[in-house]
């Protein structure tokens, strides 16, 4: 494992990332763990396994698990109209081009939005970061981003009919609102009682406690010269809605607990939070013949063009990306994965019964050097560590 340690140290020394935490685990045991570099460039505090980071879209699988708990309990129907719980979800219109004056042409969708659509990103919602039309629409209407936690950010038209195609978007923010509607609790409160506390995830939440703030890593923005500036954006501590699509803070230590729960078919820290058959359902393609597509950037400061393993067919579960064929790194077909905007990455390989994690705090998403570090790390894990 010395070669992997050397890989991480070299990345920090070369300025690829200011700091990084990487780990490999089975359902019960750690196979590898390393923390290198610092929490903020120029500082002294080292990266550690309890370092708190913005995990952005790695929030999504957690909220997906919460929604599936409520499906188990009969509180949400996976394939029923979501408008039964949130009537507003029955009022969204599909934007079908623009008229001669440049105004959106809107029509009723051909089918209702369901929780399955939301968890598989096939409801018709998009993100302004990766969709040209939505970027224009948000500029014209001066809309904040969904991560702001402002309700107005979710009032956007659908860009296609539910179930028509896959496109990454604000879907899990709405899934989080379904969790609230079905449970009668704020999303963070529900997650804390039903996932974080049972799994021992004590450093995960939408709001930073003073103790979490003391362990917080800063996000760094890559400049044109390849160097970093510290992103000094204010930390949101008040939300109109708690963003289920990307609002959580967590630590590598905590996120490994969530990954182990998935590996252990719904059980973690001595507690069962999901049924085995539910985890099996979450881990399968849930959108039929639709496939994941490349995300073309509309905001290079936040993301480059994004696609994992171009040329490898990818579907979506409830709610993970699934590679339908073996990946070039060695990742088995049928593995579950996703990532966060600040270059946090994970994958779960059910066939080989282990999972891997690499977390840093760098923008833009899929930054060339950060993504190459993750790719090299995963490849070496399969070469040197992964169970047969």
Active site residues: 57, 60, 168
Distance CA 323, CA 72 (A): 26
Phi/psi region, residue 96 (left: phi>0; alpha: psi -120 to 50; beta: rest), is: beta
Give the burial string for 363-385 (b: 16+ CB within 10 Å, else e).
bbbbbeebbebbbbbbbbbbeee
Helix (H) or strand (E) holding 293: none
The residue with tokens 């042409």 is 105
Distance CA 40, CA 319 (A): 31
Distance CA 23, CA 198 (A): 22
Nearest to 7 by CA among 29, 30, 37, 31: 37
95 is written with which tokens?
């934007």
Per DSSP, what are the bridge partners of residue 220?
A: 230, 362
Distance CA 93, CA 160 (A): 9
Across the chain, the runs of DSSP E, i.e. the strands, are 19-25, 30-37, 53-54, 94-98, 104-107, 220-222, 228-230, 249-250, 267-268, 271-272, 314-316, 321-323, 336-340, 344-349, 354-359, 362-363
374 is written with which tokens?
């993750």
CA angle 249, 251, 257 (to 5 degrees): 110
């Amino acid at each position: 494992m010395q070669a992997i340690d050397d890989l991480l140290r070299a990345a920090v020394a070369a300025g690829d990332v200011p700091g990084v935490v990487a780990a490999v685990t089975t359902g019960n045991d750690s196979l590898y763990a390393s923390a290198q570099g610092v929490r903020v460039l120029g500082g002294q505090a080292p990266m550690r396994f309890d370092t708190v980071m913005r995990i952005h879209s790695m929030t999504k699988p957690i909220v997906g698990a919460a929604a599936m708990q409520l499906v188990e309990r009969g509180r949400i129907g996976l394939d029923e109209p979501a408008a039964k719980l949130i009537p507003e979800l029955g009022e969204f219109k599909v934007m079908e081009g623009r008229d001669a004056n440049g105004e959106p042409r809107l029509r009723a969708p051909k089918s209702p939005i369901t929780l399955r659509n939301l968890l598989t990103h096939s409801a018709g919602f998009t993100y302004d970061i990766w969709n040209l039309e939505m970027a224009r629409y948000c500029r014209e209407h001066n809309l904040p981003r969904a991560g702001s936690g402002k309700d107005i950010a979710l009032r956007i038209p659908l860009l296609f009919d539910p179930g028509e195609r896959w496109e990454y978007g604000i879907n899990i923010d709405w899934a989080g609102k379904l969790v609230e509607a079905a449970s009668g609790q704020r999303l963070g409160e529900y997650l804390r009682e039903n996932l974080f506390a049972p799994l021992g995830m004590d450093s995960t939440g939408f709001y930073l406690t003073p103790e979490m703030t003391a362990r917080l890593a800063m996000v760094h923005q890559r400049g044109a010269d390849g160097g970093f500036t510290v992103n000094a954006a204010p930390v949101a501590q008040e939300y109109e809605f708690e963003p289920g699509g990307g609002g959580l803070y967590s630590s590598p230590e905590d996120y490994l607990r969530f990954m182990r729960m998935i590996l252990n078919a719904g059980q973690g820290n001595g507690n069962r939070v999901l049924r085995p058959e539910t985890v099996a359902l979450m881990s399968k393609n849930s959108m039929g013949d639709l496939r994941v597509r490349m995300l073309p950037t509309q905001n290079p400061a936040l993301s480059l063009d994004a696609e994992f393993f171009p040329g490898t067919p990818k579907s979506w579960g409830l709610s993970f990306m699934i590679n339908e064929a073996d990946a070039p790194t060695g990742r088995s077909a049928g593995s579950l994965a996703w990532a966060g905007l600040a270059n946090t990455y994970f994958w779960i390989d059910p066939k080989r019964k282990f999972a891997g994690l690499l977390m840093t705090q760098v923008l833009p998403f899929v930054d060339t050097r950060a993504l190459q570090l993750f790719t090299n790390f995963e490849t070496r894990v399969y070469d040197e560590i992964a169970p047969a």
